[in-house]
Chains A and B, each alone.
Chain A
Amino acid sequence: MKIASPNKKLKTEWIFLIIAVLLYLSVYFFQADKMLIILKAYGKLLINILPIFIFVYLIMLVSNYFVDNKILKKHMGESGTLKGWLIAVVAGIISIGPIYMWYPLMQDLKQKGVKDRFLAAFLFNRGIKLQWLPILLAYFGLLYSIILMLVMALLSVPQGLITERLIALSKRTK
């Protein structure tokens, strides 16, 4: 299993920023008059987002303090129960970090007998980013954010079931 090392990932992220800066500098060659306008818009975006950054950081801190991966792992092992679904949904919602950081745990859970439907539901619910909720709220409003989160959480169950069914059908046809 080859997963990008943290250092390699960090490099990629800085390369992304460098590319963005280079793209910005390239504006000089075709629309130089827009450079200052872009910079002002960038500053405005940064100022608008700063208080949310602080709030997001606090959420990250609290979730890191209270959420224990071992507990998640233990309860997600219960297959076919409502509790199992609830754990898959909630764990997906509260999980943080890039998806590939969760692959080893997913693999481990799979080997321990956790059904594919729970793993799929967990991964679908990672779409609901609790730590980024203030930003979603700031951009799209409370009503939209609540409905989106509820719809995603509910649809993660049939998504998990369909995924597992398709895998079973695929294996049967082989």
Chain B
Amino acid sequence: MKINKQKLKQANKKAQKAFLKVLPIILGMLLIVSMVNNLVPKSFYSHFFSGHIFSDSLIGALLGSLLMGNPISAYILGDGFIKNGVSLVAVTAFLTAWTTVGIIQLPAESIVLGKEFAIFRNLTAFVMSIITAILTVYIMGFFR
């Protein structure tokens, strides 16, 4: 396979741009996570998460829908949640909703793709993030 140098240069430039764009967010998120992990007591998350599979996944999905940013931030936060005793179902719902539901982006999505599309897409994505979480953890149980 012959490498097109010009195309590779463009791809590199694009990757650099995309990477540098998310870098401040990643650095900021890492700092916030370091602060939260060292300042917020482990018992804090138990106020949000009850340990019940359905309500926990609902809360996780709600948090994921409200928060936004690069997926890497969600992974770091999710890992922090698990270390603080939150269930994997809730964290999976959180991760899935983070990347598929966007309450903050909803106005922009409505303008571009239509109000109905934006509302129903986000609504179904929210429900699916909970189903995804339950199914993922349920299937994982077969391999343990």
Contacts and interface: CB of A to CB of B under 8 A. Distances in A.
A binds B: yes
B100 A16 contact: no
Nearest to B69: A16
Q: How large is the interface on A (under 10, 10 to 19, 20 to 34, 35 or more residues)?
A: 35 or more
B21 A41 contact: no
Interface in A119-137: 119-120, 123-124, 126-129, 132, 135-136
Most buried by B among A21, A135, A151, A158: A151
B75 A140 contact: yes
Interface string B7-26: 11011101100110110110
A27 B123 CA distance: 38
Contacts of A151: 132, 135-136, 139
Contacts of B92: 148
A42 interface: yes
Q: How large is the interface on B (under 10, 10 to 19, 20 to 34, 35 or more residues)?
A: 35 or more
A97 B14 CA distance: 10
A156 B123 CA distance: 13
A70 interface: no
Contacts of B124: 120, 159, 162-163, 166
Interface of B: 7-8, 10-12, 14-15, 18-19, 21-22, 24-25, 27-35, 37-39, 70-72, 75-76, 78-79, 88, 92, 95-96, 99-100, 102, 105, 108-109, 111-114, 116-117, 120-121, 123-125, 128, 131-132, 135-136, 139-140, 143
Interface of A: 1-3, 6, 9-10, 13-14, 16-17, 19-21, 23-24, 27, 31, 34, 37-39, 41-42, 45-46, 49, 56-57, 60-62, 64-65, 96-97, 99-100, 103-104, 106-107, 110, 116, 119-120, 123-124, 126-129, 132, 135-136, 139-140, 143-144, 147-148, 151-152, 155-156, 158-159, 162-163, 166-167, 170-171
3 closest A-B pairs by CB: A20-B28, A64-B11, A127-B99
